[in-house]
Amino acid sequence: MVETLSIAVIGAPGVGKTSIIRQFIYNDFSEVYTPTQARYVYRPSVILNGNMYDLKILDVPPISSFPSSTSQEWMDLRCRGVRNANAYILVYDICCVESFEYVKMIRQQIMEHREASGSEVPILVVGSKRDLQRHRFTPRRAVSVLVKKTWKCGYVECSAKFNWHVVLLFKELLGIAVARGLRQNHTSIRLQGALQRNRCSVM
């Protein structure tokens, strides 16, 4: 039986959430910025350690806060499916400190929600636009230490424009999810390539 994993991708406006997702699925990047106005769902598949997973990737428009209740989630179309996602990718722009503060706020709200429900969920913080690292607001190590040591989250930096570490971040997130018992024990993850439209990646 193929298991479906729901991944919510959240970030402030203009951080490159959609570009990362489209680069991962379609090997596509657009220089034209188009704001995400509504929630969009992508459904690629991956093979991990011989097991196939159908991914449900939620491209979430900027939200003022993480939905604190089921009623709030369903009242706002942008938030549907966010509260009960199997994992989260929180994206910030390494050149924009405000986008990092947004991620900090959303992560804290996710933790509060998950602690209240008694469930632990994988969270991966992603620093986007690595190709602009000369303009970053703080050294990579400072953010990495904070995220990994204090927040206890995974951390990856990537460039959707140059397809750098884009596959790695999804590989990292799936590795965390599997290691926490989402499926069978995590042994190894091999990446062999990606596909066509609604492609199936072998990891």
* Per-residue pLDDT reduced to its tens digit, 57-114: 999 999 999 988 888 788 888 888 898 899 999 999 999 999 999 999 999 999 988 7
Record the pTM: 0.87
Q: Work out whether the CA dihedral 129, 109, 68, 181 comes out positive or negative.
A: positive
* Per-residue pLDDT reduced to its tens digit, 18-71: 999 999 999 999 999 888 888 999 999 988 777 788 899 999 999 999 988 888
User: pLDDT class for 181, splitting at 50, 70, 90?
Assistant: low
Instruction: Give the residue extent of every domain in the chain.
Output: 3-189
Strand boundaries in the chain, DSSP class E:
3-11, 40-42, 45-48, 51-59, 87-93, 123-128, 154-157, 200-202
Q: Cβ contacts of residue 91 below 8 Å, gap of 6+?
A: 9, 10, 11, 15, 16, 17, 20, 99, 103, 126, 128
> Taking every pair of C-alpha atoms in the chain, what is the biggest distance, in angstroms?
47
C-alpha separations of 118 from 110, 112, 167, 187 in Å: 12, 10, 30, 27
DSSP, collapsed to helix, strand or coil, labels residue 22 as helix
Q: Cβ contacts of residue 182 below 8 Å, gap of 6+?
A: 5, 86, 122
- Name which of 147, 197, 134, 199 is nearest 176 in CA terms: 147
Beta bridge partners of 88: 8, 123
CA distance 194 to 203: 9
Domain 3-189 belongs to what topology? Rossmann fold (3.40.50)
